Structure 1
Amino acid sequence: MARRGVPRAAALALLLASVTACANDIPEADWSRGLLPDPITTQGDLVQSLWNGAWIAALATGGVVIGLIVWACIFHTKRRAKAELPPQVRYNLPIEMLYTLVPLVMVSVFFFFTARDSRDLEFVSGSPDVKVKVEAFQWSWRFTTTVGGKTLQPVVGQPVSDYTAGPQLVLPVGKKIEFELESPDVIHSFWVPDFLFKRDVIPGVPENNKGRVFEITTLDKPGVYAGRCAELCGVDHSRMLFNVKLVKQAEFDQYIATQAGSAQ
């Protein structure tokens, strides 16, 4: 028995060490955000708030349930020792009302906040500062940017192993960006983790369908952010990478000027 216990103990120690190491690699700020990335859009802040609220509600519910289980175990310890069953009753109206009304209230609260935030996330103003047509194909992306009535030369990518080598979408900070999604072949999914938002790109969806269009407002956080396809779409799905570069308005104006010669 002792010999059998040694490998098990060693494996358990290795597992605990690995978990601890992984936990130490996560910045403390990430825990305050529920392990989500720091959002770079105003809509991301909304998702963050909903995510944190859901975790708080789930932990509170779990705490109450565990507390009731522990209480029942302790309260009935003496009866178990005497092999006595608790009093058996057919009806207990207060308790039945409690476990009917409490879940109803909880589900109603969850539904309210989810519906409210979903409505805000799907809102499209119709007057964006920049429009981007996103065409997902096997296995890369084509970005066509329109700003001030001028359509720039599309940025077309190819499968890559590093997102920094993929097609780059340049956007200004502090602006409303409207995305229109399109796919000519299979279902893809446009995902920038730092947006805290993703949407499937489904072939055959008509132009007047709201599912093709969404809008974000970028925060003042210049940088290069990874993007990828989040829907298994074929052999090179893992290489369907791109990046989004957020820049100050002056740099964005300069970028537009360099693209002026190829504007349509």
Structure 2
Amino acid sequence: MKLWLQKWRLLSVLAILALVLSGCGEPFLSGLVPAGEVGKQQYDLILLSLGIMTLVIIVVVIIFTFAIIKFRRKDDRIPKQVEGSHTLEIVWTVIPIILLLILAVPTVAVTFSQGDVSAIDKKDADGNRDALVVNVNAHLYWWEFEYPDLGIVTSQDLVIPTDEKVYFQVTSKDVKHSFWIPPLGGKLDTNPENVNKFWLIADSDKAEEAGNLFYGKCAELCGPSHALMDFKVKALPQKDFENWVADMQNAKEPVKPTSDLAKQGEEIFNQSCITCHAVTPEAKPSGELAPNLAGFADRERVAGVLDHNEEELKKWIKDPEKIKPGNKMTGTYPEMSDQELDALAAYLMELKVQQ
């Protein structure tokens, strides 16, 4: 008996702990704080389904409690056995059907609405698209964002305008990943064999409240550094987005270093890194092996997870395997001295497109 009580207490503690931990997390990674049309629709469907389930639970508990109290056995006599009530059978068959329809109709409507990506294929007489399209390429363990109609390629930081539908074509260059920006909506798998499509909208008011910055993640277990496969989303007002596009399109040539240390770092980069990385936004890295570093100095994180400063950058270059196990950068370049790391970090921190 004592052993059973000990197990029951342990089970109760674990259940309470699981309940508490299920509420833990960062607010900027929560789908319960929608910041766009898609996220809001999905959030409303969650509330609708929870409301229906809660109503069913309450009704069942009330009926169950009533039956226990009213029809509890008071003596040894066996009560009269009767057939089931046809009226009750009709009621408990019809009511679930009605509840399912209440949930199914808006769910199907939202699914078809969010699945409409026909605007991607619509072009004017000159062959130009009105819709903003972003090709998302998932890699181990980083993200590449290509704006095919704007001639821009970048990585790790996705830049989009607010209050405008942005259409995404997502795929993977290696294993299955999943593209997810919790406040805006999603998620959608990125598969090596095909291209999936969907759209999102960032609400300008919500974006302003969030400092025009949202966080995205890979939501499909893809390897040892899956939890570190993050990216940032800069949701800018239309004018600011247009300025960013203009800056990126004008950055045709690599940034010229401004200090002797950065010039030394450029030489190291051209000897060791240029094979895999590009430094201009219109170019794709060779073989798409590594992220495009155009505008690296303006980014929010190093490798998607570290604070954006020279010290963290040098830690990443020195031992990327320690920070992101299983990444493809490990072992692809010779070991560097502290002076070489200082120089390379100084050069990378000058890679700006917005002067």
The TM tier, using the shorter chain, reads 0.7 to 0.9
Other-structure match for 2:66: 71
Give the superposition deviation at 1:67: 0.7
Other-structure match for 1:109: 102
Other-structure match for 2:151: 151
- Over the residues paired in the alignment, what is the CA RMSD in angstroms? 3.2
Moved over 6 A (4+): 8-16, 18-27
- Seen in structure 2, the aligned counterparts of structure 1 residues 176 and 13 have a Cα distance that, compared at 3 Å, is closer
Give the superposition deviation at 1:150: 2.0
Give the superposition deviation at 1:218: 2.0
- Seen in structure 2, the aligned counterparts of structure 1 residues 232 and 56 have a Cα distance that, compared at 3 Å, is same
Give the superposition deviation at 1:9: 7.9
Question: Which of the numbers 197, 202, 211 marks the counterpart of 1:213?
Answer: 197
Give the superposition deviation at 1:194: 0.9
Contact 2:37/2:200 (<8 A) preserved: yes
Secondary structure of residue in 1 paired with 2:183: helix
Give the whole-Å Cα distance in 1 for the aligned partners of 2:90 and 2:69.
25
Give the superposition deviation at 1:183: 1.0
1:231 matched to 2:220? The reply is yes
- Seen in structure 2, the aligned counterparts of structure 1 residues 66 and 176 have a Cα distance that, compared at 3 Å, is same
Contact 2:48/2:103 (<8 A) preserved: no
- Taking structure 2 as the reference length, what is the TM-score of the superposition? 0.59
| Larger of the two Rg values belongs to structure | 2
Q: Provide Cα deviations, 1:64-107, integer angstroms capped at 9, x if missing partner.
A: 11111001001113xx1213444312342112212222222222
Matches within 5 A, 1:1-264: 36-77=31-72, 80-126=73-119, 129-146=131-148, 149-152=149-152, 154-156=153-155, 167-205=156-194, 212-220=196-204, 221-222=207-208, 223-260=212-249, 261-262=251-252, 264=282
Give the superposition deviation at 1:215: 1.1
Give the superposition deviation at 1:128: 5.3
Secondary structure of residue in 1 paired with 2:93: helix
- Taking structure 1 as the reference length, what is the TM-score of the superposition? 0.77
Secondary structure of residue in 2 paired with 1:204: coil
Give the whole-Å Cα distance in 2 for the aligned partners of 1:60 and 1:137.
44
Q: Provide Cα deviations, 1:92-132, integer angstroms capped at 9, x if missing partner.
A: 21122122222222222222121111111212241654211
Give the whole-Å Cα distance in 2 for the aligned partners of 1:100 and 1:118.
27
1:191 maps to a residue whose letter is W
Greater per-residue strand proportion: 1
Give the whole-Å Cα distance in 2 for the aligned partners of 1:24 and 1:177.
31
- Seen in structure 2, the aligned counterparts of structure 1 residues 107 and 86 have a Cα distance that, compared at 3 Å, is farther
1:121 maps to a residue whose letter is Q
Contact 1:128/1:177 (<8 A) preserved: no
Give the whole-Å Cα distance in 1 for the aligned partners of 2:19 and 2:200.
37
Higher relative contact order (CA 8 A, sep 6+): 1
1:216 maps to a residue whose letter is L
Count of aligned pairs between the two proteins: 237
Give the superposition deviation at 1:224: 1.2
